[in-house]
Structure 1
Amino acid sequence: MITTSVLRISERFAMAAATLGLVVSPLPASAQEAQPEAGPVATGNVLGIPDDFSLLGEPDPNVRKATAVVNGTVITGTDVDHRTALVLAASERELPEEEKVRVRMQVLRNLIDETLQIQEAAAQEITVSGEEVNQRYLQLAAQNFGNQPEAMDAYLLSIGSSPVSLKRQIQGEIAWARLVGRMIRPFINVSEEEAQDVIQRLNDSKGQDEYHIMEIYLSATSETEAQVIANARQIMDQLRQGGSFLGYARQFSESSTAAAGGDLGYVRLATLPVEMAEAARTMQPGQLTGPVQIPGGFVIMYLRDKRQILMADPRDAMLSLKQISIGFQPGVTQEQAQAQLQSFQTAVQSIRGCGDAERAAQTIGAEVVVNDQIRLRDLPEQLQPSLLQLQVGQATPPFGSIDDGVRVLMLCGRDDPVDEGAPTVDEIIDQIETERVQKRAQRYLRDLRNDAYIEYN
């Protein structure tokens, strides 16, 4: 499935909207630079480069026109401009020029990779027809603009991008997926015995916590550490402003999970680098943290969720609720609102079970709305702890405001989830195969870069 998540076409784009409203924790203190010891090994200077040297060319290779020729294929400044516009649209705010330059250079690197992928697919006689690309494009338009592709065309042009740019990205994703499917996936084999071992380990770990983590990994050396930290903090600033984590991971992360929007899936802390595990242990779902220093670089982490292995999650309970609410007249004073709220609380406290809700509501002019089959985890996070503690016939504390009105949720029924069993052998095999395919695909792309002839203009 094409997940063109960097494209943020209004809040109707589900991939982008899923990452809005991140709860941000304070950043840890910046990593202090260790005092280097003598010698190239101790200082991390594995290339043996002398400490005292002079740059004989341009001091900043990023300060140049952002175009390139990749094995004879030209990437124009317009290509970079249009793709950069997609990234900038996801940030939802004006970026400083320095940040725009950094985004453009990352976009150029992505376009180079995309070009290499398309070229390699063609070399293997894998083609992607214009009809296939248009079909995927229309699917995106249907998902986000109600079967109005001309509306998506207009939006792309309005942000400084173009339908051609997005279609080129779609072409690259289809071509790469097919190339991986032919050159890598058939050679990945996972035995049933291996899957059974995983299932046994899951059963042995039943009840332990596992964390659904998303990551943006940025590699760093001792020489580039300060710049990478600065870049990571700039990305975090964009995420705080509502930027799409999925989009930024796909554009900037150097991990094999970049293609999946940085999604690591559910993992146990023991499988993570120690530094990531320590950070995740203190995080709450919906929290963003970083940059966390790990071997080889830094990582920005977002905790999507947390659960216990093979155990039912109470938040998956299906609830039957009655929503009891009151509104306030325009111009109401604080004293009048407080008196009305007191009457509301008294009426709610007088309710004797869900069957009595309508009678009590009538006494104060409140409205009652029945909501059946509501999954607890789909409700606002602030309400979930209260609802978990309620017995049938009890209500949450009042919540709301003068502008939006005040309401309570009364629990009228709850179907608790059952404990999950271990995944099937086939599910485990599919999971392991997918992980191995992603790792080999990353190596494949690295080899294409190493063999490429790239000329910058």
Structure 2
Amino acid sequence: MMGLGRIAGTGAKWLTGAGVAALATMAIAQTTPAQDGQSGVNNGLDLPSTLEIFGKADPNVRKPTAIVNDYVITGTDVDQRVALVTGMQKLTLKPEEREQLKLAMLRQLIDETLEIQEAKANEIKVDAREIESSFSRVGARFQKSPDQMRAWLREIGSSERSIKRQIEAELAWSRLLRRRVNVNVGEAEVKAMIDRLTAQKGTDEYHVYEIYQNATPDRAKEVSASMQKMIEQMRQGTPFDYLARTYSQSSTRARGGDLGWIQPAMLPEALSQAVQDMQPGQVAGPIPLSAGFSIVYLADKHKVGVADPRDAKLSLRQLSLTFAKGTTEAQASTRAAAFAKATQTIRGCGDVSKVAAAEGAEVVDRDNIVIKDLPPALQNLILPLQVGQSTQPFGSIEDGVRVLVICGRDDPPAAYTPSVEQVQEQLEDQRVNLRAERMLRDLRRDALIEYR
């Protein structure tokens, strides 16, 4: 298993929750050596033995990549959406990874086109002012004004048009669903769900993400090796849900592999055992299954119906001791030991400044820190501490040594069984999502899509 600090969205929806970039074309000369046995097979054409190709070998630029019911999706559209994803996530991709992402973004653009077309066929219109308002809200999420957002999009190689296309699709599709999808959840179903939640109170529940790939016996080694490479990409910082959206063959692919909160019994035995042995933030796999392999990421876990102590909010004072450049490991260990001994005398936040002055440490105050937002190892240090107590020193020679003192603690409210209205809303949302997936699948099946 490996640790994974956080999971980040890539092709995520903007609402749940200026110009086109210039493409410089360079003339490139490529030399193709004559192949054995081909010199006499010219089909009557007067061809040179050495071919020199002029112009960039990229037919995708400014040319159609797909035509969806007469709507053209160009290579520029795909490139700008790729730039949007990589810019948002600060990703540096290898050439083969970029090509995979291009395919994923092409699929997303096709789906968006189908959604917009179906909404228009049902006389659903999205006003330009609504799109602009949503664009402004997206910018605000990134602490940018609309003009700053436009400039930033150009800077990363994307465009305002690309993100507004996605916004239009979301608005149009959500309105179509509200008009076309009617779900009924009966009282008996709601009561059964509440009874089940009550019976499960205190049992463990896990928030799991997956990447699944089919594998016939003759391809098992190939698929397993491919998934090992995915894990290596995660170690290098590639977000799990980017890989899930790009490579997974599960129905959870569109959600970045998100299985939601589930109990072990709901998983295949091999996955169930792996998940129960994991800590939040860890990845396990490839795990062999009956028809393929899975990689799983444990985002979080909790006990059903029980308040999670990691939801507590803390007020902290941090003492930081840094080491001068060139400090040896032995010297750092000696200073760290003395620092640790001094911090053991702290009996509350009032002692922090005195100890810091004596040890030459810096003090920083931090409020409203949620325990579960800290690294897992640090969570384990802090959970048993009471107000006025301090952690053991932690850190490294490069980053220095730190100690955290608990100055205040607001424990989370007691967990409660969701209300009838909340359960009914959740069940309705699940059914709407299933219906939406079926509608989109039908649109894909009936569409005239021509790839170029």
* TM-score, length basis structure 2: 0.76
Which residue number corresponds to residue 126 of structure 1?
124
Measure how far apart 1:102 and its partner are. Answer: 3.4
Which residue number corresponds to residue 424 of structure 2?
429
Give the SS at the match of 1:383.
Answer: helix
Which residue number corresponds to residue 139 of structure 2?
141
Give the SS at the match of 1:69.
Answer: strand
Native 8 Å contact 2:346 2:390 kept in 1: no
Which residue number corresponds to residue 340 of structure 1?
335
Which residue number corresponds to residue 304 of structure 1?
299
Which residue number corresponds to residue 264 of structure 2?
269
- Counterpart AA for 1:179: L
Measure how far apart 1:169 and its partner are. Answer: 1.8
Which residue number corresponds to residue 351 of structure 1?
346
Change (3 A) 1:64 1:204: farther
- Counterpart AA for 1:440: R
State yes or no: 1:173 paired with 2:170.
Answer: yes
Give the SS at the match of 2:377.
Answer: coil
Kindly provide the CA deviation profile for residues 240-273 of structure 1, in whole angstroms up to 9, marking residues without a partner as x.
3323344454555555544544333211122233
State yes or no: 1:452 paired with 2:450.
Answer: no
Native 8 Å contact 2:281 2:376 kept in 1: no
> Once the two structures are aligned, what percentage of the paired residues are identical?
48
- Counterpart AA for 1:94: L
Which residue number corresponds to residue 4 of structure 2?
none
Give the SS at the match of 2:401.
Answer: strand
Native 8 Å contact 1:315 1:377 kept in 2: yes
State yes or no: 1:6 paired with 2:10.
Answer: yes
- Counterpart AA for 1:173: E
Give the SS at the match of 2:383.
Answer: helix
Change (3 A) 1:64 1:103: farther
Measure how far apart 1:115 and its partner are. Answer: 1.6
Pairing partner for 1:199 from 182, 190, 194: 194
Measure how far apart 1:201 and its partner are. Answer: 1.0
State yes or no: 1:319 paired with 2:296.
Answer: no
Native 8 Å contact 1:347 1:361 kept in 2: no
State yes or no: 1:110 paired with 2:105.
Answer: no
Which residue number corresponds to residue 12 of structure 1?
none
Pairing partner for 2:395 from 395, 400, 409: 400
State the alpha-carbon separation in 2 of the partners of residues 332 and 440 from structure 1: 63
Change (3 A) 1:222 1:171: farther
- Counterpart AA for 2:176: L
Which residue number corresponds to residue 289 of structure 1?
284
State yes or no: 1:93 paired with 2:88.
Answer: no
Which residue number corresponds to residue 274 of structure 2?
279
- Counterpart AA for 1:6: T
Native 8 Å contact 2:208 2:261 kept in 1: yes
State the alpha-carbon separation in 2 of the partners of residues 421 and 261 from structure 1: 29
State yes or no: 1:380 paired with 2:375.
Answer: yes
- Counterpart AA for 1:167: K
Native 8 Å contact 1:91 1:238 kept in 2: no
Give the paired residue count: 397
Native 8 Å contact 1:6 1:251 kept in 2: no
Native 8 Å contact 1:256 1:438 kept in 2: no
Give the SS at the match of 1:439.
Answer: helix
Change (3 A) 1:108 1:296: farther
Superposed CA RMSD: 3.3
Which residue number corresponds to residue 48 of structure 1?
none
Give the SS at the match of 1:305.
Answer: strand
State the alpha-carbon separation in 2 of the partners of residues 390 and 111 from structure 1: 50
- Counterpart AA for 1:80: V
Q: Structure 1: which 5+ residue stretches go unaligned? A: 9-14, 16-62
- Counterpart AA for 1:180: L
Which residue number corresponds to residue 65 of structure 2?
67
- Counterpart AA for 2:302: R
Change (3 A) 1:255 1:430: farther
State the alpha-carbon separation in 1 of the partners of residues 222 and 440 from structure 2: 25
State the alpha-carbon separation in 2 of the partners of residues 390 and 327 from structure 1: 25
* 64-73 or 106-115: bigger deviation: 64-73
Give the SS at the match of 1:432.
Answer: helix
Kindly provide the CA deviation profile for residues 278-326 of structure 1, in whole angstroms up to 9, marking residues without a partner as x.
3322222112234445566554432110111111112122334332333
Native 8 Å contact 1:87 1:247 kept in 2: no
Native 8 Å contact 2:100 2:246 kept in 1: no
State the alpha-carbon separation in 2 of the partners of residues 413 and 180 from structure 1: 47
State the alpha-carbon separation in 2 of the partners of residues 249 and 262 from structure 1: 5
Measure how far apart 1:82 and its partner are. Answer: 2.3
Measure how far apart 1:64 and its partner are. Answer: 9.7
Give the SS at the match of 2:414.
Answer: coil
Measure how far apart 1:405 and its partner are. Answer: 3.3
State the alpha-carbon separation in 2 of the partners of residues 317 and 119 from structure 1: 47
* TM-score, length basis structure 1: 0.75
State the alpha-carbon separation in 1 of the partners of residues 365 and 161 from structure 2: 47
Give the SS at the match of 2:171.
Answer: helix
Which residue number corresponds to residue 49 of structure 2?
none
Native 8 Å contact 2:91 2:238 kept in 1: yes
Q: Structure 2: which 5+ residue stretches go unaligned? A: 1-7, 18-57
